[in-house]
Amino acid sequence: MEKTHQEKINDYHATIERLRKKHRQEAYNRETERLIERGLLLESFIHGAELLTSEQIYKFLSKTAQTENAIELLHYIVDPHHFGKPPLSWYTVIEIDEDEDEDYFDPNDTELV
């Protein structure tokens, strides 16, 4: 038996609603994945971050991420061609153990973006 015009309209609306729900769920999943990834990054760079409260992490980031150097570095990471070579003030003198295979900030690395 062929569907009536109203049944076809109802099916169409149901399909649209199903697609909207699927789109919302996919967006939620992408956001969740992004937040988890960034949380893991944060904890990998801040020793003992898993022991800190959210308020303590907020205080730390609000003090460090809002410095002039941090803002300039972020702008450079986003658009390195616009800003040219980073100033020497961005670099911290650190001892690098050549035997260890650890990543460190290379000012000549063009793949920061």
Give the pLDDT confidence score for residue 98 in this predicted structure: 55
Question: What percent of the chain has pLDDT above 90?
Answer: 40
Q: Which of 111, 68, 109, 61 is nearest to 90 (CA)?
A: 68
Write down the pTM of the prediction: 0.56
Q: Which of 92, 93, 87, 57 is nearest to 72 (CA)?
A: 87
Which amino acid, residue 39? Answer: G
User: Residue 23 — very low, low, confident or very high, per pLDDT cuts 50/70/90?
Assistant: very high
pLDDT reported for residue 16: 97
- Average pLDDT over the chain reads 80
pLDDT in tens, 53-98: 999 999 998 888 888 888 888 887 877 776 666 666 555 544 545 5
What's the pLDDT score for residue 91?
59
CB 71 within 8 A of CB 63: no
